[in-house]
Structure 1
Amino acid sequence: MSRSDAAVELDGQGLTFVQSIEPRGFLWLSLKHGLLNLVTLTTHRFWGQSEVRRWIWNATDLDGEPLDYVGGGLELFLGFLLKVLTIGGPLLAAVLAVQAWGPLWGAPVAAAAWLIIAFIDGFGRFGAFLYMASRTEWRGENFELEGSPLAFALAHMRDASLCLATFGWWQPVAHRRQAQSLWGGLTFQGRNFRFDMAASNRSPVYSAYAIGWFGTVMVLLFGAGVLLGLASGFFPTPEVGAAPSIGQLLALFALTVGLWVLLTVIWAPYQAARRTSIAAGLGFALPIGWGDMARLNAVNAFLRFASLGVLAPVVQARTSAFLLARLRGTLTAQ
C-alpha cells in the first residue's frame, strides 16, 4: 500500500489519497482479458478496459472510502463505433478527392477534412472525460463536468491546426489549455476544482519538449536511412529491388521495436514535465525525475511488446502507482 502526500480539501477537511495497487496482482486480469480479446478478435477490450479501471479505482481510497467506477464496456464500444463512423466519412472524402483530382485540387477537401476530424476528435475527448467523471463515484455520488463540448471541440480544432502549422511546437500550449478546460471544469457536489493556469505556466516544459522533438527527428532520419539502404554497412538492409530474407525481416522488426522503445524514452522528459505542469495547475507538486519516467516508459513498452499487449492492465497499474506515490499537495474544491 502506498500512501500519498496528496489530498483533496472538501468543506475545509483534508482528504488523503491512499492507493493499494500491486501491479503483479493485475497479471491474472491481464491473462483473462488477453484470452478473451483473442477469442473475440479484440472486441472484448472495451469490457476489459472497464474492469481494469474498476480495479484501479477501487484500489484508490479517499479518506478511507474507495473510489468506484460504474462504467460499462458496452458504452465504450458504442462510443468507439460512433467515433469511427464520424471520422471515417471526412477521411474517406479526403482520400477520394486527392485520388480523383490530384494533390493540388484535392488539397482544399483534404484541409476541410482535417478540420472536421480535429473538431470531432475534440468533441470526443470532451465526451470521454465527461464519461469518466460521471462514471466515477465516491460515497455514492458521482463527479460532473462543466463546460461546453462545442467550445472545447472548436478550441481543439484551432490547436490541432496550430500544431500542424508549427510542426508540433504548439503542442505544450494545447496540452495546458485542454487540462484547464477539463480539470478546471470538474465538479463534485456542486463544488469546482480550480485550475491555476499561471501556476501551470511557471512549470517549464519546452526544454523537455525540444528533447523529444529533435530526438524524434533523428530517429526518423535513421529509420529512413535504413529503409533506403543507407545503413547497409552496419545493418542487414535488403538491396533495392531484391526480396528481403527472413533474417533481414527479423532484423528490421527488431529495429522497429527498438526505435519505438527509444522514442518512449526520448519523450519521457516531456511527459514528466507536462504532468508536473498540469499537477501544478491543480495545486499539486509532482516531482518526477526524467530518469524515473524513462525507466517506467521503457519497462512498460517492453511489457506491451513482449506480451503483444496482453499485459496492458499491468502497465496501467504500474503507471497509476508511479504517479500517485509522487503526488504532493492539496486540491481544493470550492
Structure 2
Amino acid sequence: MDNGGTPASGETLTFGHTIRPAAFVGLSLKNGLLNIITLTLYRFWGKTEVRRRVWSHVTLNEEPFEYTGRGKELFLGFLLAMLAVGAPYLALILAIQFVSPLFTLLLIPVYIGLIVLIGMAIFMTYRYQASRTRWRGVRFHLSGEPSRYGWSYLGYALLSGITFGWYSPAMTMKLAEKIWSGMQYGDQRLSWARAYKHNLYGPFAIAWIAGIFGYGALIAAIIPSAAASASAGTEPSVLLFLRFYAYGFAYVLFLIIATAAYHAAVMREIAASIRMADARFTLDVKAGALMGLTLSNIALIVLSLGFLQPVAMARTVKFLIDRLSSAGTAPLMSAHQAPRGPKTGEGLADAFDVSPF
C-alpha cells in the first residue's frame, strides 16, 4: 500500500517452497498399496492427493498455492475419454479382423486423428490443472481451444518428421507459446515474448547426432545375439530378452545424458519468454543438475517398482522452484476471479498417458 492507502501498482514475485521429498514416502506407499488393491482404480484419487500436497508446499510471496481438483473428476474424465476414443478404435480393429480388410484403409486417418487427440490431451491437461489451481483464492485459467492446439500439434509433428526431427526445437517453442500466452491468473493474462537468450540448436544437434550413433550401437549389439539364436534354431530364451531389455535401458540412459543440455536450454528459454505485466522470469537450470535429477528419479522409481513416484514428483518441483526467480512487478492485487474450468479432469491425457504432471 502507498501512503494514500491505495494498492501499489504491482508487487515483485518471490517463489519458495517447504517441500521435503522424504515426507512423501508414506503417501507413496499408501497410494501404491491402494492401487494394487483396487487394480489401479485408486490412481485418480492418489494423483489428486499428491498434487494437493505438492501445491500446498509451493509459495508465491510466502503465500501457498491451493489445488482444488478431485479424484472423481479425473475418473469421470478417463471414462468419457475411453468411450469417445477407446470404443471407436476397438470397433475399427474388430471390423478389420472380422468384417473386411478394406477397413485397414481407415487406419491412416485414425492415426492422424490420434496425433490430434494427443495434442488436445496435452492442452486439456494444462487447462484442467490451471482451473484447479488457486492463489489468494483466485484461480488460474487457460483460454483457447483444444482442437486448435491439437491440429497445430499435428502440423508441427509432420514438419518434425519431414525434417528428420530438426523442426523439433521450433515445435517445442511454438507449442509453449500457445499454452503460456493463453494462461491467466484471474483476469490477469500472461504474455509471451520469445527471449532468444539461449541457443537451442547447438545442444539439439549434439543430442541428434548422439541419438543416431547410439541407435546404431544398439542395433549392432542386438543383431549378433538375435542372429545366434536364429541360427541355432531355438526359441528366444528369457536370458536373450533380458539382454535386449538391458541394451534398451542403456540406450535410454545414454539419451538422457545426451539430451540433458538441450532440455535444460529449452526450460531456460521458455521461462525467459513468459511475461506477467512487467515481471520477467529466470529458470537457472544447468545440464548436469538436470541430468542428475532425471537419473536419480529413474533409479528411485525403478528400484521402488513405481511406488515412490510421488517422491520423484516432489523432488522435481523442489528442483524447479529452487531455480526459479523473477524480476519486475505484476498487479496481482487487482486480479479478479477467472471463469470456472471444465467439469471433468484430463481424461484424454490419462488415456494416452501424456500428462505433463
The bucket for the TM-score relative to the shorter chain is: 0.7 to 0.9
What is the aligned partner in structure 1 of residue 59 from structure 2? 61
Which of these residues, 113, 138, 141, is aligned with residue 144 of structure 1? 141
Report how far residue 31 of structure 1 moved: 1.1
Q: What residue is the counterpart of 1:203 in the other structure?
A: 198
Other-structure match for 2:262:
270
Q: Name the SS of the counterpart of 1:228 in structure 2.
A: helix
Q: CA deviation at 1:245?
A: 4.2
Structure 1: which 5+ residue stretches go unaligned? 1-9
Bigger mean CA offset, 36-45 vs 212-221: 212-221
The structure 2 residue matched to 1:219, chosen from 214, 222, 238, is 214
User: d(CA) in 2 for partners of 1:50 and 1:331?
Assistant: 33
Give matches, 1:1-334, under 5 Å. 11-88=9-86, 89-90=88-89, 93=92, 106=104, 109-197=106-194, 199=195, 201-229=196-224, 238-240=229-231, 241-282=233-274, 283-330=280-327, 333=330
* 8 Å contact from structure 1 (residues 93, 113) kept in 2: no
Q: Which moved more, 1:269-278 or 1:143-152?
A: 143-152
Give, as a single letter, the amino acid of the residue that structure 2 aligns with 1:242. Answer: T
**Paired letter, 2:258:** I
Distance in 1, Cα, partners of 2:289 & 2:180: 25
**Paired residues, what number?**
316
Q: Is the CA contact (8 Å cut-off) linking 1:97 and 1:109 kept in structure 2?
A: no
- Would the aligned equivalents of 2:11 and 2:329 in 1 still touch at CA under 8 Å? no
2:221/2:247 contact within 8 Å kept: no
The residue identity in structure 1 corresponding to 2:63 is E
Task: Answer whether contact 1:135 1:142 (CA < 8 A) is retained.
Answer: yes
Post-superposition shift, 1:38?
A: 1.5
Q: Against the structure 1 CA distance between its residues 111 and 206, is the aligned structure 2 distance closer, same or farther, given a 3 Å change threshold?
A: farther
Q: Which amino acid aligns with 1:325?
A: D
The residue type paired with residue 204 of structure 2 is Y
Identity across aligned pairs (percent)?
A: 34
Q: Distance in 2 between matches of 1:86 and 1:262?
A: 38
Instruction: Single out whichever of 61-70 and 250-259 deviates more from structure 2.
Output: 250-259
**Are 1:46 and 1:73, in contact at CA under 8 Å, matched by a contact in 2?**
yes
Higher relative contact order (CA 8 A, sep 6+): 2
* Partners of 1:208 and 1:45 in 2: CA distance: 37
SS of equivalent residue, structure 1 residue 229: helix
CA deviation after TM superposition for structure 1 residue 123, in Å:
1.9
Normalised TM-score (structure 2): 0.79
Per the normalisation by structure 1, the TM-score is: 0.84
CA distance in 1, matches of 2:284, 2:34: 38
| Paired letter, 1:26 | F
Cα deviation for residue 138 of structure 1 reads 1.0
Q: Distance in 2 between matches of 1:36 and 1:319?
A: 24
CA distance in 2, matches of 1:90, 1:228: 34
Deviating more after overlay: 155-164 vs 275-284: 155-164
Task: Report the aligned-residue RMSD.
Answer: 2.8
Task: Give the letter for the 1:114 counterpart.
Answer: Y
Query: 1:80, CA displacement in angstroms?
Result: 2.9
Q: Report the more deviating stretch, 35-44 or 160-169.
A: 160-169
Q: Which letter maps to 1:37?
A: N
Q: Which structure 2 segments of 5+ residues have no match? A: 1-7, 275-279, 332-357
Question: In the alignment, is the contact (CA less than 8 A) between 2:15 and 2:324 conserved in 1?
Answer: no
